[in-house]
Structure 1
Amino acid sequence: MRALRRPLLLLVVLAGLVAASLPVAASPARHVTPLAQAHAHNDYEHTRPLHDALDHGFTSVEADIFLVDGELLVAHDPEDLDPDRTLRSLYLDPLRHKVSHGGVYPGKRVEFQLLIDIKTEGESTYAALDALLRSPRYAFLWTKYRFGHVKRGPVTAVVSGNRPRATMEGQRTRMAFYDGRIANPDDVGPGGDARLAPLVSDNWTTLFTWTGAGEMPAGERAELRRIVDTAHRAGQRVRFWATPDVAGPQREAVWRELVAAEVDHINTDDLAGLAAFLRAQDRAAA
């Protein structure tokens, strides 16, 4: 037996040396520069939900959820529901793995947002979501509201869609926050509360007529900047949905105005297109 141990020990040592010499596969998110304004609208429709967005540097992703037989399923429409595509499997477990292994973007200080859009009845769906976010498996991930104070975590969960405002507002502790509406004075600015609604969103086409053709009307540009300034002074972030998202000069014109106005989250389904645009803007500014 003693004669066999020496060759086996040599083989183990040699195997370790060979393994150490092999290149380690790098996570793309470790080397990409995060883009603070990049929001992946309907992120779950990409080939690799969450991961494609991270590979492009996005710092906010959106998932629509349906409560079905006690499980939170991710899809855009009821006919697309698949029991294998859950909020857990597509988002919570991958985020848990990343945060446990160095962060959403390892080595980088990033505020990452998971925007969860409730598609089914608000109270019951939020109750299931609240219980899931609080579970010991995931609770360490979140920015938390506790007895009037906000404690920052690796990921901020924000609830959109069918949001049960009174229920969320009445909670003494929360693992998620409320997506307010820009058009509602109770949500934004002096009438709002960033401890409840750190994000305010609205439909671009209900607030503005301009969609990128020609110059933005001066009055609409002033209104855009007033909205952003009002929200920022209250400690809130701003997002618009239904902005033009077909590649071309009109989309870029709208994106340039959003960047210039310091809108916090720019909405897109085109990950590569927005990433390239924002990086070009950064280079131009530098």
Structure 2
Amino acid sequence: MLRILLSILLVILTLSTSASFAQKIHAHNDYEKPRPFADAYEQRADFIEADVWLQDGKLVVSHEKPKANAPTLDSLYLKPIVKLFQQYKDKPSSDRDYTFGLVIDVKDSPADVLPKLLTLLQENLPYFNRAANTKAVQVIISGNRPKVDTFLDYPLLQFDGRPSEVYDQETLQRVALISDNFRSYSQWDGTSELSDLDRDKLKRVIKRAHSDSKPIRFWAIPDNPTGWKQLKKLGIDVINTDKVAECVQAMR
């Protein structure tokens, strides 16, 4: 009887320290696509990513250091998002369950970029404040992030966490997901079998994220259907892809 009770307790503890998340898709480098934002939005991507720089006092979108007259974050993303909320009456879509995270991959100093970003968001606060509207677009800071102990200094924003970082409980609430470079754990190309050694390394970091009740994403994954499906089976919650439409078709 004691052995049975101990087994039950172990199962309960395991469940309480793990997390279960619906499969999500991250539109990597979305701004490089023929129809920035629109394609990822139409495919119902869960996270949509833009690389952001500060140029002549404006936030602009570019993969490399921006050239003159680079498109602004406001024109490519924020204004289209605002227009959707105005069209659908405080929702981003006619689909009542759909919203998404706008991932800002900061390429310049966060001390310079984030205050300007917050000013832009505050101009349309109802659409970017998820504390007040559960369908609001959550803005998530990745790339050059501020120091962990300053996360709480930036209202409206959440952050892309890392497995190597340690968070207190209050700061953990400002972490939207945990991300890391897949190549730090494996060189798997998505065609052969993933080795047991690499699988174990990945499972450990996945378990650590889930123990904090956070979904996990890896960038630089094998970006093909076999890779996506194997990583989903492994427990990776957010599939990072440059092929959003193909990934959606394969995964959902």
The bucket for the TM-score relative to the shorter chain is 0.7 to 0.9
Partner of 2:147: 165
Structure 1 segments unaligned to the other structure (5+ residues)? 1-34, 246-250, 280-286
TM-score, reference length from structure 1: 0.72
Kept after mapping to 2: 8 A contact 1:142/1:152: no
Identify the match of residue 52 of structure 1 among 39, 55, 58: 39
Deviation of the 1:75 alpha carbon: 0.8
Deviation of the 1:191 alpha carbon: 8.0
Kept after mapping to 1: 8 A contact 2:52/2:61: yes
Q: Which has the higher contact order (CA 8 A, sep 6+)?
A: 2
Alignment identity in percent? Answer: 31
Kept after mapping to 1: 8 A contact 2:28/2:240: yes
* In structure 2, distance between residues paired with 1:111 and 1:237: 16
Identify the match of residue 180 of structure 1 among 161, 174, 185: 161
- Label 1:73 to 1:185 Cα distance change in 2 as closer, same or farther (>3 A): closer
- Label 1:153 to 1:194 Cα distance change in 2 as closer, same or farther (>3 A): farther
Q: Which structure's CA Rg is the greater one?
A: 1
* In structure 1, distance between residues paired with 2:157 and 2:210: 20
Deviation of the 1:114 alpha carbon: 0.5
Kept after mapping to 2: 8 A contact 1:159/1:179: yes
TM-score, reference length from structure 2: 0.81
Partner of 2:114: 126
Kept after mapping to 2: 8 A contact 1:193/1:234: no
Deviation of the 1:104 alpha carbon: 2.5
* In structure 2, distance between residues paired with 1:259 and 1:51: 25
* RMSD of aligned Cα (Å): 2.5
**Count of aligned pairs:** 229
* In structure 1, distance between residues paired with 2:237 and 2:35: 24
Q: Does 1:68 align with 2:55?
A: yes
Kept after mapping to 2: 8 A contact 1:168/1:174: no
Kept after mapping to 1: 8 A contact 2:158/2:175: yes
Deviation of the 1:36 alpha carbon: 4.9
Partner of 2:199: 221
Q: Does 1:92 align with 2:105?
A: no
Kept after mapping to 2: 8 A contact 1:185/1:191: no
1:101-116 to 2 correspondences below 5 Å:
101-102=87-88, 103-116=91-104
